[in-house]
Amino acid sequence: MFVTLAFCWGFSFLAIAVGLESLEPVLFAAFRYDTAAILLLAYALVSGASWRPTGRANLSAVIAGGLFLVAANGMLFIGQQTVPSGVAAIMQSLIPILTSLWALGLLPEERVSAVGAVGILLGFVGVGFIVRPDPGNLLGSSVVGRLLILVQVAGVALGGVLIQRANPTLDKSALSGWSMLIGGVILHATSTTIGEPFSLPTTLESAAAVAYLGVIATALAFLIYFTLLEVRGALETSLVAYLVPIVATITGVVVLDEKLTPLTLLGFLVVFSGFIILKREAIAELVGEIRGSVA
């Protein structure tokens, strides 16, 4: 399941790049979550799960999910107009670090030691290598695109923490479905507000991109993700953030002939090192558990 999830999300950056050739970015993102919302809510109904978001905790969770886990991803679609898919995927590796940073202020039980703070700092240093703002061209399209993706990453991390804080009792498929429905509505409203012309996918490539993103990279992937959370825990599941960029980068180089600079790869390694330092104790416990199960 772990490898399958990595490939589902890794190929999504290629699908976004293909769809952006003929679809407006925010509208494209809305189509993705429309599709996933229908599938996930239908699954929740058929499975007999609790699917109505009643109660303050559940309502707070679906609103947070809609705003930050879903609607914020519109920034990714805009950013990928000028940012290679491999770079966009590499920037997602900051999510576990930013999640820890948001948790410091929003989850009272979370603490970070001085060494852990070094890990967080390394994460931002790594992002600096990836974004590489040019003082002479701070508003260049590539830099703006990377900054928009950074905002998306921060939003996704915040959404995860807010959902954890709400502690919802809603079934995971229903929670995801409602979040995507709310996020999709926000994205459609945003698309209309910024003047994007409404048009359905008219080419085989754009239709395939929407179908892949909605069905495979979102509906199926989120079911796998939540299953992994229950079976393997948050730490091991979060490691997928470091396998996804590898899949996306190889795909971008082979299929789209994208180029990655050594500094971008160095930035990824620095971010990963920051994650290792930040989560060193939990990783040590996980390694011990794995060794124990093998023995």
What is residue 113's three-state secondary structure? Answer: coil
CB 79 within 8 A of CB 148: yes
Render pLDDT for 181-212 as a digit per residue (tens, 0 to 9). 999 999 999 999 999 999 999 899 999 999 99
Contact 244, 10 (CB under 8 A): yes
> How is the chain split among helix, strand and coil, in percent rounded to 5?
80, 0, 20
**The pLDDT of residue 137 is above 70:** no
Which is more confidently placed, 189 or 108? 189
User: Could you give the CA distance from residue 71 to residue 190 in angstroms, rounded to a whole number?
Assistant: 9
- Please report the sign of the dihedral spanned by the C-alpha atoms of residue 159, residue 164, residue 165, residue 171: positive
So what's the pLDDT on residue 233?
65
Between residues 30 and 108, which one has the greater pLDDT?
30
Q: Cβ atoms within 10 A of the Cβ of 152, count? A: 25
120 residue type, one letter: I
Query: How many CB atoms lie under 10 A from the CB of residue 253?
Result: 15
Return the closest-CA partner of residue 237 out of 245, 229, 247.
229
- What is the per-residue pLDDT for 140? 55
- For the ranges 33-47, 183-197, 278-292, the lowest mean pLDDT is seen at 278-292
What's residue 138's pLDDT?
Answer: 43
What are the tokens at 55? 């109660």
pLDDT at position 256, please?
A: 86
DSSP symbol at 135:
T
Name the token pair of 94.
């900051």
**What average pLDDT does range 128-149 have in this prediction?**
70
Nearest to 15, CA basis, from 251, 239, 264: 251
pTM (2 d.p.): 0.85
Domains held by the chain: number: 1
The yes-or-no verdict on residue 111 having pLDDT over 80 is no
DSSP helix/strand/coil, 232: helix
223-279 pLDDT per residue, tens: 888 888 777 766 677 778 788 888 888 898 888 888 888 888 888 898 889 888 877
pLDDT at 108: 75
pLDDT of 274 reads 85
Quick one: how far is CA 55 from the chain centroid?
27
Token pair recorded at residue 167: 């502690």
The whole domain housing 185 covers: 2-294
Phi, psi of 76 (to 5 degrees): -65, -45
